[in-house]
Chain A
């Protein structure tokens, strides 16, 4: 079975600084998708960034980028120029076909 591990329960970052959220996963599959979702207190689960396992190039979306290390089964999220609106719970997720598995999540706070 696939597992997703987020070992840091909480992190804090100063506004305008950079922060990296860690995620590892375990799978025997070669093709799959990885995602970072953001869930603010409003509770809407919002997709931040996606990475296809077959792509070597790391995905980027504006201030968000990932460091995808397939052999190490590592998928970290870097948030640059952190903003107050980035404060939320962040979940790393693994998807193979119609099965989406989440890590435990990390609560990110942003200090003004």
Chain B
């Protein structure tokens, strides 16, 4: 199983709403990532969890709140977003260090978020 599953696939939310994005993997990976991607642009790293601990926060606004309940799950809680936050949000997972046999990151299909 080399799948990363993201739900929902599409989400429309108002600026006062609270919603959550979910990500799940069963590859035994201990690093999980959130990326934000605008159209025709590369993914921008937001957060990295390594062994269920937040290891990287790329100065993301506090209206985005990540959570890693266990080694298989990653959530991104959204609150009071702005229209400019509309984007594709990608989850990925990998082994957390380069000593693993396979170190590449596997990506989910993403959640297309629209903030109205």
- Can you name the residue of chain A whose Cβ is closest to the Cβ of B33? A100
Decide yes or no whether B56 CB sits under 8 A from chain A: yes
Q: Kindly list chain A residues whose C-beta atoms are within 8 Å of the C-beta of B107.
A: 37, 44-46
Decide if A89 is an interface residue (CB 8 Å cutoff): yes
In the assembled complex, how far is the CB of residue A103 from the closest CB belonging to chain B, in whole angstroms?
Answer: 6
A98–B110 CB distance below 8 A? no
* Cα A46 to Cα B98 with chains together (Å): 20
Q: Is A31 an interface residue (CB 8 A)?
A: yes
Q: Provide the bound-state CA to CA distance between A45 and B88, in Å.
A: 12
Sorted nearest first, the 3 A-B pairs with minimum C-beta distance are A45-B107, A102-B42, A98-B31
Interface residues of B in 73-107 (CB under 8 A from A): 88, 90, 92, 94, 96-98, 103-107
What secondary structure prevails in chain A residues at the interface with B? strand
Closest partner residue, chain A, to B106 (CB atom): A47
Q: CB distance B98 to A100 under 8 Å?
A: no
Known: A33-B103, A47-B106. A100 touches B92 (CB 8 A): yes
Residues of A near B31 (CB, < 8 A) are 98
B48 to A102, Cβ gap below 8 A? no
Interface residues of A (CB under 8 A from B): 31-33, 35, 37, 42-47, 50, 89, 91, 95-105, 107
Contact residues on B (Cβ < 8 Å of other chain), bracket: 20 to 34
Most-contacted residue by chain A among B41, B97, B98, B110 (CB, 10 A) = B98
Q: Evaluate whether A91 and B42 lie within 8 angstroms (CB atoms) in the complex, with A33-B103, A98-B56 already known.
A: yes
Q: List 26 A-B contacts (CB under 8 A).
A: A32-B98, A33-B104, A35-B105, A42-B109, A43-B109, A44-B107, A45-B92, A47-B104, A47-B105, A50-B104, A91-B42, A91-B43, A95-B98, A95-B104, A95-B105, A97-B98, A98-B50, A98-B55, A98-B56, A98-B94, A100-B92, A100-B94, A100-B105, A101-B45, A105-B40, A107-B40
**Is there contact, CB below 8 Å, between B42 and A104?**
yes
